[in-house]
Structure 1
């Protein structure tokens, strides 16, 4: 993982543009597919790439066990929301060694439910990203003010060579943007990744950094940009002028209050 520290807003845009150009120019042939750059913002640079499930204390949870959690909370959520999430739980979902995370059909409909849960606070094994540099910068710079650097992560999964690796080893897959779920998914231009590995004969959700710990020229390119704390307000002001703020991204009354407070007290 490469790490760079910026001194002004324009430096961030330059790094994002340079990464995209470098990845496109390095593909093996003109017809090779290179993934779009995905972005993720962290208010504190010391935070690792952890999913909400990992932060909840569930490390290396098997897919089967997590899907059992989904089947148990599903009735309560459907009753409260008056909507139906259609999927079928199968005890054999992880049987066999031909499992491919990138084939989201293994979730049999749970992916839609997981994305909905992710936007409402229930722990999931999904790491959320955005296709917008500026949305990611909002998440990197918003929140309580502090003296620690913030961080912007930039991720490119497929560099034109396809995805590969050791069978059963940690693998990251981008699960895609095309899913029917909460409107915030579309407002925030969200994408999601998940990381799995085979542990003691079971497929388990695994920390992303285990799959990015070694540098690769052919897949899973990740860069970390450190943003000094003194730039946060300037960046938020620029983003607000683009109509990227808490209210435009969340659309709630609380988010409106947060946006108005920033404009009046820090604008």
Structure 2
């Protein structure tokens, strides 16, 4: 897809400037970005969830997927009774959900935009969303909850007392909204990827469509295919690799495979 908020970069230096633009916070005199990032190897991809990608009556499948996941996963998970914890666990393990993965780290997002060397002939993109400003569109109850905590993102513990189910979430406000949710530290992958999730209030809502209606909240950085190998090599040199982001033998093997790939 193409947006009016696309920034085209042509070299590593322009990429750095784009990734860290508007990161200076005058209130604290520090570089603390209010953006979160999502890297995609193809710039034409929108922000549809894994649940939407199921197709068909995906909106009716959500409660069935989650109910059966909870039923069969109890021996291998202990997220308590909160649906928000269960959603995070399900997303983390590959169940189709309404959640989308994001990171606070622009370099982690760059990793995911350049990890697949089979897609190096395709222009990639980094979606950059101002998660702080997005809170102004929250319903009153959620806005008060997050302000009382002095936070900019939700945790399952913050969300549960205000809204305990997906149906309650949709009923809070007629207009669609997005909230950002920090998952529990399920394993090293969540921690090392500096990860969080976005969640739309309605199951059939798509974040990219919503952002087009609120263009002040986002921009995209378009990465030309010709720049991907340079980015990839520099990220590997900086240790932004599967060996770190996916702790374990699988991540190690992915990193080594690319490291010894001949081009």
- Normalised by the size of structure 1, how large is the TM-score? 0.74
1:12 deviates by: 1.8
Residue of structure 2 in register with 1:114 after alignment: 87
1:50 deviates by: 1.3
Please give the alpha-carbon distance, in whole angstroms, between the structure 2 residues aligned to 1:134 and 1:51: 22
Please give the alpha-carbon distance, in whole angstroms, between the structure 1 residues aligned to 2:78 and 2:211: 37
- The one-character-per-residue Cα deviations of 1:91-149 (angstroms, maximum 9, x if unpaired) are xxxxxxxxxxxxxxxxxx12222222222211111111000010000000111234220
Q: How does 1:1-12 map to 2 (within 5 A)?
A: 2-12=5-15
Q: How does 1:203-214 map to 2 (within 5 A)?
A: 204-214=203-213
How many pairs are equivalent? Answer: 224
Please give the alpha-carbon distance, in whole angstroms, between the structure 2 residues aligned to 1:161 and 1:128: 18
Residue of structure 2 in register with 1:183 after alignment: 188
- The one-character-per-residue Cα deviations of 1:6-32 (angstroms, maximum 9, x if unpaired) are 1112212211222324xx56xxxx59x
- The one-character-per-residue Cα deviations of 1:63-106 (angstroms, maximum 9, x if unpaired) are xx634431222132223x2x33321xxxxxxxxxxxxxxxxxxx
2:198 paired residue among 193, 202, 205: 193
1:250 deviates by: 0.9
Residue of structure 2 in register with 1:128 after alignment: 101
- Tell whether 2:58 aligns with 1:85: no
SS at 2:218 equivalent: strand
Q: How does 1:1-267 map to 2 (within 5 A)?
A: 2-21=5-24, 24=25, 36-57=34-55, 61=59, 66-79=62-75, 81=76, 83-87=77-81, 109-143=82-116, 144-159=118-133, 162-164=136-138, 167-177=173-183, 179-197=184-202, 204-217=203-216, 221-266=217-262
Inter-CA distance 224–58: structure 2 relative to 1 (3 Å threshold):
farther
On the 8 A contact 1:194/1:205 being kept in 2, the answer is no
On the 8 A contact 1:170/1:210 being kept in 2, the answer is no
1:234 deviates by: 1.1
Residue of structure 1 in register with 2:165 after alignment: none
On the 8 A contact 1:119/1:182 being kept in 2, the answer is no
Unaligned runs of 5+ in 1: 88-108, 198-203
Please give the alpha-carbon distance, in whole angstroms, between the structure 2 residues aligned to 1:54 and 1:189: 25
Q: Which moved more, 1:257-266 or 1:152-161?
A: 152-161
On the 8 A contact 2:126/2:221 being kept in 1, the answer is yes
